[in-house]
Chain A
Amino acid sequence: MNEPALIQDAQHGDLDAFNTLVLHYQDMVFNVALRILGDDDLAADAAQEAFISAFRNINSFRGGSFKAWLMRTVTNACYDELRRQKRRPTTPLEPDTNDGEEMDSPRWLADPNLSPEQEAEADELEHAIQHCLENLPTDFRVVVVMADIQGLDYNEVAIAARVPLGTIKSRLARARLRLRECLRGFEELLPVSFRLEERQSV
Protein backbone atom coordinates (compact mmCIF):
# COMPACT_ATOMS: atom_id res chain seq x y z
CA MET A 1 0.00 0.00 0.00
CA ASN A 2 1.43 3.34 -1.10
CA GLU A 3 0.14 5.37 1.84
CA PRO A 4 1.41 8.84 0.82
CA ALA A 5 -0.12 8.46 -2.68
CA LEU A 6 -3.43 7.29 -1.25
CA ILE A 7 -3.48 10.21 1.20
CA GLN A 8 -2.75 12.62 -1.62
CA ASP A 9 -5.55 11.16 -3.76
CA ALA A 10 -7.92 11.30 -0.81
CA GLN A 11 -7.02 14.94 -0.30
CA HIS A 12 -8.19 15.51 -3.88
CA GLY A 13 -11.53 13.95 -3.01
CA ASP A 14 -10.84 10.39 -4.15
CA LEU A 15 -13.11 8.36 -1.89
CA ASP A 16 -11.84 5.03 -3.20
CA ALA A 17 -8.30 5.94 -2.19
CA PHE A 18 -9.52 6.92 1.26
CA ASN A 19 -11.46 3.68 1.57
CA THR A 20 -8.24 1.74 0.94
CA LEU A 21 -6.78 3.55 3.95
CA VAL A 22 -9.95 2.77 5.92
CA LEU A 23 -9.59 -0.95 5.22
CA HIS A 24 -5.98 -0.83 6.34
CA TYR A 25 -6.61 1.01 9.61
CA GLN A 26 -10.14 0.00 10.55
CA ASP A 27 -9.15 -2.77 12.99
CA MET A 28 -6.78 -0.47 14.83
CA VAL A 29 -9.28 2.37 14.97
CA PHE A 30 -12.01 0.04 16.20
CA ASN A 31 -9.75 -1.44 18.89
CA VAL A 32 -8.72 1.98 20.17
CA ALA A 33 -12.37 3.04 20.36
CA LEU A 34 -13.31 -0.25 22.01
CA ARG A 35 -10.66 0.05 24.72
CA ILE A 36 -11.54 3.67 25.42
CA LEU A 37 -15.32 3.25 25.37
CA GLY A 38 -15.63 -0.36 26.52
CA ASP A 39 -18.62 -1.15 24.33
CA ASP A 40 -18.66 -2.80 20.91
CA ASP A 41 -21.57 -0.83 19.46
CA LEU A 42 -20.35 2.51 20.74
CA ALA A 43 -16.87 1.69 19.49
CA ALA A 44 -18.19 0.84 16.02
CA ASP A 45 -20.15 4.10 15.91
CA ALA A 46 -17.13 6.09 17.09
CA ALA A 47 -14.91 4.39 14.51
CA GLN A 48 -17.36 5.23 11.73
CA GLU A 49 -17.61 8.82 12.92
CA ALA A 50 -13.85 9.03 13.09
CA PHE A 51 -13.43 7.91 9.47
CA ILE A 52 -16.12 10.32 8.26
CA SER A 53 -14.46 13.14 10.15
CA ALA A 54 -11.04 12.08 8.86
CA PHE A 55 -12.20 12.20 5.25
CA ARG A 56 -13.82 15.60 5.70
CA ASN A 57 -10.71 17.02 7.35
CA ILE A 58 -8.06 15.16 5.45
CA ASN A 59 -6.75 18.38 3.96
CA SER A 60 -5.67 19.41 7.45
CA PHE A 61 -3.19 16.52 7.45
CA ARG A 62 0.15 18.12 6.66
CA GLY A 63 2.40 15.10 6.65
CA GLY A 64 4.04 13.17 9.46
CA SER A 65 2.48 10.07 10.94
CA PHE A 66 -0.91 9.41 9.36
CA LYS A 67 -1.55 6.76 11.99
CA ALA A 68 -1.09 9.32 14.79
CA TRP A 69 -3.33 11.80 12.96
CA LEU A 70 -5.99 9.12 12.55
CA MET A 71 -5.67 8.18 16.23
CA ARG A 72 -6.31 11.79 17.14
CA THR A 73 -9.51 11.69 15.10
CA VAL A 74 -10.73 8.53 16.78
CA THR A 75 -9.78 9.92 20.19
CA ASN A 76 -11.88 12.99 19.48
CA ALA A 77 -14.80 10.78 18.42
CA CYS A 78 -14.46 8.84 21.69
CA TYR A 79 -14.36 12.03 23.76
CA ASP A 80 -17.53 13.17 21.96
CA GLU A 81 -19.21 9.87 22.76
CA LEU A 82 -18.16 10.05 26.41
CA ARG A 83 -19.52 13.60 26.63
CA ARG A 84 -22.80 12.37 25.15
CA GLN A 85 -22.92 9.64 27.77
CA LYS A 86 -22.35 12.22 30.49
CA ARG A 87 -25.33 14.20 29.24
CA ARG A 88 -27.44 11.02 29.16
CA PRO A 89 -26.18 9.09 32.19
CA THR A 90 -26.91 5.39 32.46
CA THR A 91 -27.07 3.16 35.54
CA PRO A 92 -23.51 2.51 36.74
CA LEU A 93 -22.24 -1.03 36.83
CA GLU A 94 -20.60 -0.56 40.23
CA PRO A 95 -22.75 -1.78 43.12
CA ASP A 96 -23.69 0.49 45.99
CA THR A 97 -22.58 -0.03 49.58
CA ASN A 98 -25.10 -0.21 52.41
CA ASP A 99 -24.71 3.57 52.76
CA GLY A 100 -25.73 4.00 49.15
CA GLU A 101 -22.27 5.08 48.05
CA GLU A 102 -20.50 3.61 45.07
CA MET A 103 -17.75 1.14 45.85
CA ASP A 104 -14.36 2.40 44.77
CA SER A 105 -12.70 -0.95 44.42
CA PRO A 106 -13.19 -3.02 41.28
CA ARG A 107 -12.72 -6.17 43.33
CA TRP A 108 -16.47 -6.68 43.37
CA LEU A 109 -16.15 -8.43 40.05
CA ALA A 110 -14.12 -11.17 41.72
CA ASP A 111 -16.79 -11.69 44.33
CA PRO A 112 -17.47 -15.46 44.80
CA ASN A 113 -21.17 -14.71 45.15
CA LEU A 114 -21.44 -13.72 41.51
CA SER A 115 -23.82 -15.68 39.32
CA PRO A 116 -22.27 -18.40 37.11
CA GLU A 117 -22.79 -16.23 34.09
CA GLN A 118 -21.13 -13.25 35.72
CA GLU A 119 -18.37 -15.47 37.03
CA ALA A 120 -17.71 -16.86 33.60
CA GLU A 121 -17.51 -13.37 32.27
CA ALA A 122 -15.25 -12.28 35.10
CA ASP A 123 -12.97 -15.22 34.42
CA GLU A 124 -11.93 -13.72 31.21
CA LEU A 125 -8.78 -11.76 31.61
CA GLU A 126 -9.80 -9.44 28.87
CA HIS A 127 -12.86 -8.34 30.77
CA ALA A 128 -10.81 -7.75 33.89
CA ILE A 129 -8.32 -5.60 32.04
CA GLN A 130 -11.08 -3.73 30.27
CA HIS A 131 -12.74 -3.14 33.62
CA CYS A 132 -9.53 -1.70 35.04
CA LEU A 133 -9.05 0.44 31.96
CA GLU A 134 -12.52 1.89 32.39
CA ASN A 135 -11.66 2.79 35.97
CA LEU A 136 -8.89 5.07 34.75
CA PRO A 137 -9.54 8.74 34.08
CA THR A 138 -10.20 9.20 30.34
CA ASP A 139 -6.98 11.13 29.69
CA PHE A 140 -4.90 8.35 31.25
CA ARG A 141 -6.89 5.68 29.44
CA VAL A 142 -6.32 7.30 26.06
CA VAL A 143 -2.56 7.43 26.62
CA VAL A 144 -2.24 3.88 27.89
CA VAL A 145 -4.40 2.48 25.06
CA MET A 146 -2.29 4.24 22.46
CA ALA A 147 1.09 3.39 23.95
CA ASP A 148 0.66 -0.03 25.53
CA ILE A 149 -2.15 -1.61 23.53
CA GLN A 150 -1.55 -0.12 20.09
CA GLY A 151 2.19 0.25 20.47
CA LEU A 152 2.47 3.86 19.31
CA ASP A 153 5.69 5.63 20.26
CA TYR A 154 5.67 8.60 22.62
CA ASN A 155 5.74 11.16 19.82
CA GLU A 156 2.77 9.58 18.08
CA VAL A 157 0.86 9.43 21.35
CA ALA A 158 1.66 13.10 21.96
CA ILE A 159 0.24 13.97 18.53
CA ALA A 160 -2.84 11.80 19.02
CA ALA A 161 -3.58 13.09 22.50
CA ARG A 162 -2.47 16.68 21.76
CA VAL A 163 -0.39 16.94 24.90
CA PRO A 164 3.34 17.51 25.43
CA LEU A 165 5.74 14.60 25.63
CA GLY A 166 6.38 15.16 29.36
CA THR A 167 2.65 14.84 30.06
CA ILE A 168 2.55 11.59 28.11
CA LYS A 169 5.37 10.14 30.25
CA SER A 170 3.68 11.23 33.43
CA ARG A 171 0.21 9.96 32.44
CA LEU A 172 1.60 6.67 31.27
CA ALA A 173 3.47 6.05 34.54
CA ARG A 174 0.38 6.87 36.63
CA ALA A 175 -1.89 4.79 34.41
CA ARG A 176 0.38 1.75 34.63
CA LEU A 177 0.59 2.02 38.41
CA ARG A 178 -3.17 2.30 38.74
CA LEU A 179 -3.75 -0.59 36.38
CA ARG A 180 -1.38 -2.80 38.29
CA GLU A 181 -3.15 -1.90 41.52
CA CYS A 182 -6.53 -2.65 39.98
CA LEU A 183 -5.39 -5.95 38.50
CA ARG A 184 -4.30 -7.21 41.91
CA GLY A 185 -7.98 -7.86 42.45
CA PHE A 186 -7.91 -10.40 39.63
CA GLU A 187 -4.68 -12.14 40.58
CA GLU A 188 -6.12 -15.59 39.98
CA LEU A 189 -7.03 -14.62 36.42
CA LEU A 190 -3.58 -13.45 35.52
CA PRO A 191 -1.03 -15.67 33.81
CA VAL A 192 1.53 -17.01 36.27
CA SER A 193 4.28 -14.74 35.02
CA PHE A 194 2.18 -11.70 35.91
CA ARG A 195 1.23 -12.79 39.45
CA LEU A 196 3.04 -10.52 41.83
CA GLU A 197 2.75 -12.74 44.91
CA GLU A 198 4.12 -15.76 43.09
CA ARG A 199 6.96 -13.75 41.60
CA GLN A 200 7.84 -12.46 45.07
CA SER A 201 7.71 -15.95 46.63
CA VAL A 202 9.91 -17.29 43.85
Chain B
Amino acid sequence: MNFRDVKLLSAYLDGQLNPSDSARLELRLKTDLELAAVIDDLRAARGLLRQLPSRRAPRNFTLTPKMVGVKPPLPRAYPIFRFASAFAALLFFLSYAVNFAAPRLTSASAPVYGYGSGGGPAASQELLAATEAPVATEAPALAITEVPTATESLALAPAPTQMAITPTEIPMTAQDGARDVETPSAKSAEPESTNGTQPEVQKEAPVSYVWLTGLAVVAILSALIAYLLRLSAIRKWRRRVD
Protein backbone atom coordinates (compact mmCIF):
# COMPACT_ATOMS: atom_id res chain seq x y z
CA MET B 1 0.00 0.00 0.00
CA ASN B 2 1.34 3.40 -0.90
CA PHE B 3 0.30 7.00 -0.26
CA ARG B 4 -1.80 7.01 -3.43
CA ASP B 5 -3.99 4.37 -1.79
CA VAL B 6 -4.29 6.48 1.36
CA LYS B 7 -5.35 9.44 -0.79
CA LEU B 8 -7.93 7.28 -2.53
CA LEU B 9 -9.28 6.05 0.80
CA SER B 10 -9.51 9.58 2.18
CA ALA B 11 -11.36 10.80 -0.91
CA TYR B 12 -13.59 7.73 -0.79
CA LEU B 13 -14.61 8.58 2.76
CA ASP B 14 -15.72 12.02 1.58
CA GLY B 15 -17.56 10.59 -1.44
CA GLN B 16 -15.14 12.30 -3.82
CA LEU B 17 -14.39 9.25 -6.00
CA ASN B 18 -16.24 8.50 -9.20
CA PRO B 19 -18.46 5.37 -9.15
CA SER B 20 -16.02 3.10 -11.00
CA ASP B 21 -13.07 4.03 -8.69
CA SER B 22 -15.33 3.57 -5.68
CA ALA B 23 -16.41 0.08 -6.84
CA ARG B 24 -12.80 -0.96 -7.48
CA LEU B 25 -11.72 0.29 -4.04
CA GLU B 26 -14.60 -1.45 -2.30
CA LEU B 27 -13.51 -4.75 -3.87
CA ARG B 28 -9.96 -4.24 -2.63
CA LEU B 29 -11.19 -3.33 0.86
CA LYS B 30 -12.93 -6.68 1.12
CA THR B 31 -9.70 -8.59 0.56
CA ASP B 32 -6.93 -6.23 1.75
CA LEU B 33 -6.85 -6.11 5.56
CA GLU B 34 -4.16 -3.43 5.66
CA LEU B 35 -6.25 -1.21 3.45
CA ALA B 36 -9.27 -1.81 5.67
CA ALA B 37 -7.24 -0.89 8.76
CA VAL B 38 -6.11 2.36 7.19
CA ILE B 39 -9.61 3.38 6.21
CA ASP B 40 -10.68 2.67 9.78
CA ASP B 41 -7.93 4.97 11.02
CA LEU B 42 -8.91 7.72 8.62
CA ARG B 43 -12.56 7.36 9.50
CA ALA B 44 -11.76 7.49 13.21
CA ALA B 45 -9.67 10.64 12.80
CA ARG B 46 -12.34 12.31 10.75
CA GLY B 47 -15.05 11.27 13.21
CA LEU B 48 -13.14 12.68 16.17
CA LEU B 49 -12.63 16.00 14.44
CA ARG B 50 -16.27 16.18 13.46
CA GLN B 51 -17.44 15.69 17.00
CA LEU B 52 -15.31 18.53 18.34
CA PRO B 53 -17.67 20.94 20.07
CA SER B 54 -18.25 24.20 18.31
CA ARG B 55 -17.47 27.15 20.54
CA ARG B 56 -19.49 30.31 20.66
CA ALA B 57 -17.66 33.47 19.79
CA PRO B 58 -16.54 35.14 23.04
CA ARG B 59 -18.00 38.43 21.87
CA ASN B 60 -19.66 40.02 18.89
CA PHE B 61 -17.25 40.88 16.11
CA THR B 62 -19.54 43.48 14.55
CA LEU B 63 -17.70 46.44 13.14
CA THR B 64 -17.99 50.10 14.02
CA PRO B 65 -17.29 52.90 11.53
CA LYS B 66 -14.20 53.76 13.54
CA MET B 67 -12.78 50.24 13.18
CA VAL B 68 -12.99 50.26 9.41
CA GLY B 69 -11.97 53.89 9.01
CA VAL B 70 -15.30 55.05 7.64
CA LYS B 71 -15.17 58.84 7.44
CA PRO B 72 -18.04 61.00 8.65
CA PRO B 73 -20.34 62.25 5.90
CA LEU B 74 -19.41 65.88 5.22
CA PRO B 75 -21.94 68.54 4.17
CA ARG B 76 -22.29 69.19 0.46
CA ALA B 77 -21.07 72.77 0.87
CA TYR B 78 -17.78 71.58 2.37
CA PRO B 79 -15.94 70.88 -0.90
CA ILE B 80 -17.20 74.18 -2.36
CA PHE B 81 -15.69 76.21 0.47
CA ARG B 82 -12.54 74.15 0.43
CA PHE B 83 -12.11 74.69 -3.29
CA ALA B 84 -12.91 78.41 -2.98
CA SER B 85 -10.31 78.77 -0.28
CA ALA B 86 -7.64 76.96 -2.26
CA PHE B 87 -8.46 78.87 -5.45
CA ALA B 88 -8.46 82.27 -3.73
CA ALA B 89 -5.17 81.45 -2.03
CA LEU B 90 -3.65 80.45 -5.36
CA LEU B 91 -4.87 83.64 -7.03
CA PHE B 92 -3.57 85.68 -4.12
CA PHE B 93 -0.08 84.25 -4.41
CA LEU B 94 -0.06 84.61 -8.19
CA SER B 95 -1.16 88.25 -7.94
CA TYR B 96 1.37 88.90 -5.25
CA ALA B 97 4.06 87.33 -7.39
CA VAL B 98 3.10 89.56 -10.30
CA ASN B 99 3.29 92.65 -8.10
CA PHE B 100 6.59 91.53 -6.77
CA ALA B 101 8.14 90.73 -10.14
CA ALA B 102 6.77 93.61 -12.26
CA PRO B 103 8.93 96.49 -10.90
CA ARG B 104 12.04 94.37 -11.17
CA LEU B 105 11.33 93.49 -14.80
CA THR B 106 10.71 97.15 -15.64
CA SER B 107 13.89 98.30 -13.98
CA ALA B 108 15.83 95.53 -15.72
CA SER B 109 14.74 96.86 -19.11
CA ALA B 110 15.19 100.52 -18.18
CA PRO B 111 18.87 100.96 -19.13
CA VAL B 112 18.14 100.04 -22.73
CA TYR B 113 15.59 102.80 -23.05
CA GLY B 114 16.92 105.27 -20.60
CA TYR B 115 20.60 105.42 -21.31
CA GLY B 116 20.74 104.04 -24.82
CA SER B 117 24.08 102.43 -24.18
CA GLY B 118 23.07 99.27 -26.05
CA GLY B 119 23.63 98.98 -29.81
CA GLY B 120 21.05 98.25 -32.49
CA PRO B 121 18.61 100.31 -34.48
CA ALA B 122 15.95 100.36 -31.80
CA ALA B 123 18.33 101.87 -29.35
CA SER B 124 19.51 104.51 -31.81
CA GLN B 125 15.91 105.49 -32.49
CA GLU B 126 15.33 105.90 -28.81
CA LEU B 127 18.45 107.99 -28.60
CA LEU B 128 17.18 110.11 -31.46
CA ALA B 129 13.88 110.59 -29.70
CA ALA B 130 15.74 111.52 -26.58
CA THR B 131 17.60 114.27 -28.37
CA GLU B 132 14.30 115.89 -29.15
CA ALA B 133 13.46 115.97 -25.50
CA PRO B 134 14.94 119.38 -24.75
CA VAL B 135 12.43 120.92 -27.11
CA ALA B 136 9.64 119.45 -25.09
CA THR B 137 11.36 120.46 -21.93
CA GLU B 138 11.27 124.05 -22.92
CA ALA B 139 7.51 124.09 -23.39
CA PRO B 140 6.02 120.96 -21.92
CA ALA B 141 2.53 122.19 -21.33
CA LEU B 142 2.26 123.65 -24.78
CA ALA B 143 3.54 120.48 -26.39
CA ILE B 144 0.94 118.39 -24.69
CA THR B 145 -1.99 120.67 -25.26
CA GLU B 146 -1.14 120.84 -28.92
CA VAL B 147 -1.09 117.09 -29.29
CA PRO B 148 -4.23 116.16 -31.18
CA THR B 149 -3.65 112.44 -31.69
CA ALA B 150 -2.10 109.53 -29.94
CA THR B 151 0.62 109.10 -32.52
CA GLU B 152 1.92 112.58 -31.96
CA SER B 153 1.99 112.07 -28.25
CA LEU B 154 4.10 108.98 -28.86
CA ALA B 155 6.60 111.04 -30.77
CA LEU B 156 6.92 113.19 -27.73
CA ALA B 157 7.48 110.19 -25.57
CA PRO B 158 10.77 111.20 -23.97
CA ALA B 159 9.14 114.09 -22.23
CA PRO B 160 10.53 115.35 -18.95
CA THR B 161 9.16 114.59 -15.53
CA GLN B 162 6.94 117.62 -15.41
CA MET B 163 4.83 116.12 -18.15
CA ALA B 164 3.46 113.57 -15.79
CA ILE B 165 1.59 116.33 -14.05
CA THR B 166 0.38 118.16 -17.10
CA PRO B 167 -1.96 115.48 -18.48
CA THR B 168 -4.27 116.00 -15.57
CA GLU B 169 -4.61 119.58 -16.61
CA ILE B 170 -5.44 118.95 -20.24
CA PRO B 171 -8.41 116.63 -20.46
CA MET B 172 -10.40 119.45 -22.01
CA THR B 173 -8.05 119.76 -24.96
CA ALA B 174 -6.54 116.35 -25.54
CA GLN B 175 -8.50 113.37 -26.72
CA ASP B 176 -9.20 110.52 -24.29
CA GLY B 177 -6.97 108.11 -26.22
CA ALA B 178 -4.13 110.57 -26.24
CA ARG B 179 -4.32 110.90 -22.48
CA ASP B 180 -4.13 107.12 -22.07
CA VAL B 181 -1.01 106.94 -24.15
CA GLU B 182 0.66 109.86 -22.50
CA THR B 183 1.11 108.15 -19.20
CA PRO B 184 3.29 105.30 -20.44
CA SER B 185 5.23 107.66 -22.65
CA ALA B 186 5.89 109.82 -19.69
CA LYS B 187 6.98 106.77 -17.75
CA SER B 188 9.51 105.78 -20.37
CA ALA B 189 10.88 109.27 -20.43
CA GLU B 190 11.40 109.43 -16.72
CA PRO B 191 14.77 107.75 -16.39
CA GLU B 192 16.35 110.01 -19.03
CA SER B 193 15.32 113.26 -17.54
CA THR B 194 15.80 112.37 -13.88
CA ASN B 195 19.18 110.73 -14.45
CA GLY B 196 18.53 107.40 -12.76
CA THR B 197 16.19 108.24 -9.86
CA GLN B 198 13.18 105.84 -9.63
CA PRO B 199 9.97 107.55 -10.56
CA GLU B 200 6.76 107.26 -8.52
CA VAL B 201 4.83 105.74 -11.41
CA GLN B 202 7.04 102.62 -11.58
CA LYS B 203 6.28 101.74 -7.98
CA GLU B 204 2.59 101.39 -8.74
CA ALA B 205 1.57 97.67 -8.56
CA PRO B 206 -0.04 96.06 -11.64
CA VAL B 207 -2.57 94.26 -9.38
CA SER B 208 -4.37 96.53 -7.01
CA TYR B 209 -4.04 96.00 -3.29
CA VAL B 210 -7.80 96.05 -2.92
CA TRP B 211 -7.94 92.95 -5.12
CA LEU B 212 -5.18 91.29 -3.11
CA THR B 213 -6.90 92.04 0.18
CA GLY B 214 -10.18 90.72 -1.20
CA LEU B 215 -8.55 87.46 -2.27
CA ALA B 216 -6.90 87.03 1.12
CA VAL B 217 -10.19 87.62 2.89
CA VAL B 218 -12.02 85.14 0.64
CA ALA B 219 -9.32 82.51 1.14
CA ILE B 220 -9.29 82.85 4.92
CA LEU B 221 -13.07 83.03 5.30
CA SER B 222 -13.66 80.03 3.03
CA ALA B 223 -11.06 77.97 4.88
CA LEU B 224 -12.62 78.92 8.19
CA ILE B 225 -16.12 78.01 7.06
CA ALA B 226 -14.90 74.69 5.60
CA TYR B 227 -13.10 73.89 8.85
CA LEU B 228 -16.18 74.69 10.95
CA LEU B 229 -18.43 72.62 8.69
CA ARG B 230 -16.07 69.65 9.00
CA LEU B 231 -15.76 70.03 12.74
CA SER B 232 -19.50 70.16 13.18
CA ALA B 233 -20.03 67.10 10.94
CA ILE B 234 -17.40 65.07 12.83
CA ARG B 235 -18.94 65.98 16.20
CA LYS B 236 -22.41 64.97 15.07
CA TRP B 237 -21.07 61.70 13.62
CA ARG B 238 -19.14 60.86 16.80
CA ARG B 239 -22.23 61.43 18.93
CA ARG B 240 -24.12 59.03 16.66
CA VAL B 241 -21.35 56.38 16.58
CA ASP B 242 -20.49 56.42 20.29
Chain A residues within 8 Å of B, Cβ to Cβ:
13, 15, 18-19, 22-23, 26-27, 29-31, 34-35, 40, 44, 47-48, 51-52, 55-56, 125-126, 129, 144, 147-149, 151, 154, 169-170, 172-174, 176-177, 179-180, 183, 190-191, 193-194, 196, 199-200
Contact status B42-A180, CB under 8 Å: yes
Overall SS of chain A's interface? helix
Among B53-61, B76-84, B111-119, B209-217, the stretch that binds chain A is: B53-61
Contact status B55-A172, CB under 8 Å: no
Query: Which of A154, A179, A193, A200 has the largest count of B CB atoms less than 10 A from its CB?
Result: A179
Asked whether A26 and B60 contact (CB < 8 A) given A148-B46, A154-B16, A173-B9, the answer is yes
B38's nearest neighbour on chain A, judged by CB, is: A177
Contact status B63-A177, CB under 8 Å: no
Number of interface residues of B (CB under 8 A): 38
Q: Which listed residue, A15, A30, A148, A191, touches B58 by the CB 8 Å rule?
A: A30
Decide yes or no whether B172 CB sits under 8 A from chain A. no
A-B residue pairs, 9 tightest by C-beta: A173-B10, A148-B49, A180-B45, A30-B57, A19-B62, A180-B41, A176-B45, A179-B45, A173-B7
Among B65-73, B101-109, B146-154, the stretch that binds chain A is: B65-73
Contact status A129-B68, CB under 8 Å: no
Q: In the bound complex, what is the Cα–Cα distance between A51 and B48 (angstroms)?
A: 29
Contact status A22-B61, CB under 8 Å: yes
Contact status B63-A154, CB under 8 Å: no
Q: In the bound complex, what is the Cα–Cα distance between A22 and B48 (angstroms)?
A: 28
Q: In the bound complex, what is the Cα–Cα distance between A46 and B116 (angstroms)?
A: 83
Decide yes or no whether B19 CB sits under 8 A from chain A. no
